[in-house]
């Protein structure tokens, strides 16, 4: 028996170690609420400590993760909380963000965007439309 190989869904080829490391870190944070240690990454991927550090460094360089220098378990994934919330909303049937078609069908699609004015009265200085027509006091 060989070692199981992870496949990417897009083109069914083996996933890179970097992608495997990212997937592990993401799932670890989601499951445990904090980032994995370098030892956790090493054990999960079956690599040396040096290789685990190199993979994490590659992820940080690619801006896929953020790291707090010198901190243990100082790995975070930018936007992870937002991604999780959006996934949960979609699972519950909500339409969010880019799920909405821009320029798609609209129930008021037949209405003009701007009202068309057929007649615009000219207003001349001294023309007071709110006063009685015949001058004098208004009658009640």
Tokens standing for residue 139: 């009658």
If pLDDT is split at 50, 70 and 90, which confidence band does 77 have?
Answer: very high
d(CA 90, CA 27): 19
CATH class, range 17-91: mainly alpha
- What is the distance between the alpha carbons of residues 140 and 61, in angstroms, rounded to a whole number? 82
Model confidence at 71, pLDDT cuts 50, 70, 90, reads confident
- What average pLDDT does this structure show over 34-52? 95
Sort 31 into a burial class: Cβ within 10 Å, 0-12 / 13-18 / 19+: exposed
User: Rounded mean pLDDT of 52-77?
Assistant: 92
Across the chain, what does the average pLDDT equal? 77
pTM to 2 decimal places: 0.58
Answer whether residue 113 shows pLDDT above 70. no
Q: Which helix (H) or strand (E) holds 95?
A: none
Q: Give the residue extent of every domain in the chain.
A: 17-91
Percent of the chain with pLDDT over 70: 59
pLDDT value, residue 1:
41
Tokens 């909500």 found at:
94
């Amino acid at each position: 028996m060989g070692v199981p190989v992870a496949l990417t869904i897009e083109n069914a080829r083996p996933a890179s170690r970097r992608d495997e490391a990212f997937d592990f870190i993401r799932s670890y944070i989601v499951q445990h609420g904090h980032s994995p240690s370098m030892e956790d990454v090493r054990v999960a991927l079956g690599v040396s400590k040096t290789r685990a550090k190199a993979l994490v460094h590659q992820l940080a360089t690619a801006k896929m993760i953020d790291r707090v220098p010198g901190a243990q378990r100082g790995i975070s994934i930018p936007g992870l909380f937002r991604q999780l919330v959006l996934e949960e909303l979609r699972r519950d049937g909500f339409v969010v963000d880019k799920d909405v078609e821009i320029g798609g069908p609209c129930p008021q699609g037949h209405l003009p965007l701007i009202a068309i004015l057929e007649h615009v009265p000219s207003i001349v200085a001294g023309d007071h439309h709110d006063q009685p027509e015949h001058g004098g006091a208004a009658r009640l």
